[in-house]
Amino acid sequence: MAETANKPAEASPEPTDPKTALATHPEVVRFTNVTKKFGVGNDSNVALQDVTFTVHDLPNTGELISIVGPSGCGKSTLLRMIAGLEPHYPPTSGTVEILGKADSSPSSEKGLVDQKYSLFPHLTVLKNVAFGLSLRGESRSTREDKAALWIKKVGLEGNESKYPQELSGGMQQRVAIASTLVLNPRILLMDEPFGALDPKIRLKMQELLVQLWNEQQSTVFIVTHSVEEALYLGDRVFRMASRPGRLVEIVQAPRPDIPPEEMRQKKWFVDMTRELLYRLEQDKNAAGELGSYPDYKSEIEHRHSDASSASK
Ligand SMILES: Nc1ncnc2c1ncn2[C@@H]1O[C@H](COP(=O)(O)OP(=O)(O)OP(=O)(O)O)[C@@H](O)[C@H]1O
Ligand SMILES: [Mg+2]
């Protein structure tokens, strides 16, 4: 089920074919031959080379893309390019289109949970989470109600009046996640959001993300160094390789409709994880189908028929 990046699959004339259904949906993100170089001359560094992909707006579902790849292969660059943040945006060559526009300036449609998450040290947890809403002109009581709700959702109830430095790294990270999710962005960009969390909370946060994503139906890009997390969360997993940073493989994965602990027990999941990990270690181009496991295939087909019928 792996498709080689940069070569879009042919659309079938069959009206019920999910690929045809996809073609009729608006595009949320389209990269066309995107290359990003930092520096000039001998010191120049190709952070991304010739990256092409499209993410459509799937009705009633959204899509979750997980991105894996070795350190330095351009994962954060790709995310920050979508966010429209300098110096990553604009690309050196190629085009980035967001929601049909060839302009990726920062906007509230896009929410980024950064790798180096940043909170305001002089604001309480409640005020940190409510901050973005004040920029939207919402009343104080509305934004504090919404902030309190999100603080509860990320499991930090009771910490509203604390300051960031009074919290552990993992708690601070959850405040950063709440501060972004409270804004209900159309495109959610998460750069290693669960990196600082202990394994138990990490699994809880994965489940929470899936639940929130089902509620909000936004398009989510999540960068992770955990192959299990990528396969569990992603509808598609983008595998990147380094030197130069490039997108080498797009792998379809089943919807996370069961808790992560349960999915981890499935044989196909264990086999896919091992194979993807091996390919990551090899850091080479696509190597054909990732999984030839019956369970895996039937789950993918199930998901595609859902996407197709949802579009009618
Ligand atoms: N602002 C910048 N100025 C110059 N070079 C940069 C800048 N940001 C990134 N790079 C370079 O671009 C390449 C890709 O960096 P990027 O941060 O996207 O990698 P990454 O895949 O997110 O790595 P990690 O897994 O370690 O976070 C690296 O070689 C990095 O040094
Ligand atoms: Mg990074």
pLDDT digit string (tens) for the chain, length 312 residues: 444 454 443 333 334 444 444 455 588 999 999 999 999 888 889 999 999 999 988 766 778 999 999 999 999 999 999 999 999 999 999 999 998 888 778 787 888 988 777 899 999 999 999 998 888 888 999 999 999 999 998 889 999 999 999 998 889 989 998 998 898 888 999 999 888 788 888 888 888 888 877 787 789 999 999 999 999 999 899 999 999 999 999 998 887 778 888 888 888 888 889 989 999 998 888 766 665 544 555 555 554 454 445 444
Task: Answer yes or no: is the C-beta of 220 below 6 A from any ligand 1 atom.
Answer: no
Alpha carbon of 191 to ligand 2 centroid (Å): 7
The protein residue with its alpha carbon nearest to ligand 1, atom 16, reads 74
3-state secondary structure of 24: coil
Alpha carbon of 223 to ligand 1 centroid (Å): 13
The protein residue with its alpha carbon nearest to ligand 1, atom 13, reads 47
Query: Taking a C-beta distance cutoff of 8 angstroms, is the pair 73, 225 a contact?
Result: no
- Which among 205, 206, 237, 207 has a CA at the least distance from the CA of 221? 237
Sheet arrangement for strand 27-38? 45-56, 27-38, 93-98
Among all bound ligands, the one having the nearest atom to the CA of 240 is: 1
- For residues 209 and 213, what is the distance between their CA atoms, to the nearest angstrom? 6
Task: Answer yes or no: is the C-beta of 73 below 6 A from any ligand 1 atom.
Answer: yes
Task: Answer yes or no: is the C-beta of 175 below 6 A from any ligand 1 atom.
Answer: no
Q: Where are the domains of the chain?
A: 2-109+185-310
Kindly report the number of other CB atoms within 10 A of residue 191's CB atom.
22
Ligand 1 atom nearest to CA at 78: 18
Task: Answer yes or no: is the C-beta of 80 below 6 A from any ligand 1 atom.
Answer: no
Distance of CA 173 to the CA centre of its chain: 16
DSSP 119-145: --TTS-HHHHHHHHHHHTT--HHHHHH
pTM for the complete prediction?
0.85
Which CATH code, of 3.40.50.300, 3.30.470.30, 3.40.50.1860, 1.20.200.10, is assigned to 2-109+185-310? 3.40.50.300
Ligand 1 atom nearest to CA at 225: 25
3-state secondary structure of 191: strand
Return the structure tokens found at 169: 């790294």
